[in-house]
Amino acid sequence: MASAASAPPTPTTPGNLKRIVAASLIGTTIEWYDFFLYGSAAALVFNKLFFPDSDPLVGTLLSFLTYAVGFAARPLGALVFGHYGDRVGRKKLLVLSLLLMGGATFAIGLLPTHATVGSAAPVLLTALRLVQGFALGGEWGGAVLLVSEHGDARRRGFWASWPQTGAPAGQLLATGVLSLLTAVLSDSAFTSWGWRIPFLLSGVLVMVGLWIRLSVDESPVFKQALAQAEARKAEQDTGAEKLPLVSVLRHHWRDVLVAMGARMAENISYYVITAFILVYATTAADVSKQTALNAVLIASAVHFAVIPLWGALSDRIGRRPVYLLGAAGIGLWMFPFFSLIDTGDFGNLILAITVGLVLHGAMYAPQAAFFAEMFATRMRYSGASIGAQFASVAAGAPAPLIATALLDDFDSSTPIALYVIAAAVLTLIAVGVAKETRNRDLADVESAADAASVTTATADARAV
Convert the pLDDT of each residue in 286-333 to its tens digit: 898 889 888 988 999 999 999 999 999 999 999 999 999 999 999 999
pLDDT at 366: 96
**d(Cα 307, Cα 25) in Å, to the nearest integer?**
13
CB 144 within 8 A of CB 365: no
Mean pLDDT across the chain, nearest whole number?
A: 83
DSSP character at residue 238: -
- Torsion, CA 57, CA 62, CA 64, CA 69, rounded to 10: 170
pLDDT of residue 54: 64
What pLDDT does 454 receive? 42
More confident site: 156 or 142 = 156
In angstroms, rounded to a whole number, what is the distance separating the alpha carbons of residues 399 and 419? Answer: 9
Give the pLDDT band (50/70/90) at residue 2.
Answer: very low
pLDDT in tens, 116-129: 988 888 888 888 98
- Interval 367-394 mean pLDDT: 86
pLDDT of res. 444: 66
Label residue 11 by pLDDT band (50, 70, 90): low
Q: Residue 94's pLDDT band (boundaries 50, 70, 90)?
A: confident
Instruction: Look at residue 114 and tell me whether its pLDDT is greater than 80.
Output: yes
**What pLDDT was estimated at residue 247?**
77
**Which residues are CB-contacts of 194 (< 8 A; sequence separation ≥ 6)?**
181, 182, 185
pLDDT at 110 over 60: yes
Closest CA to 307 of 165, 120, 100, 99: 165
CA atoms 116, 119, 122, 123: torsion sign = negative
Stretch 45-50: mean pLDDT: 82
At 237 the pLDDT is 54
The reported pLDDT for the residue numbered 451 is 47
What is the tens place of the pLDDT at every residue in 216-225? Answer: 777 777 777 6
What value does the mean pLDDT take over residues 222-244? 65
CA distances (Å), 461 to each of 133, 295, 458, in order?
Answer: 39, 61, 5
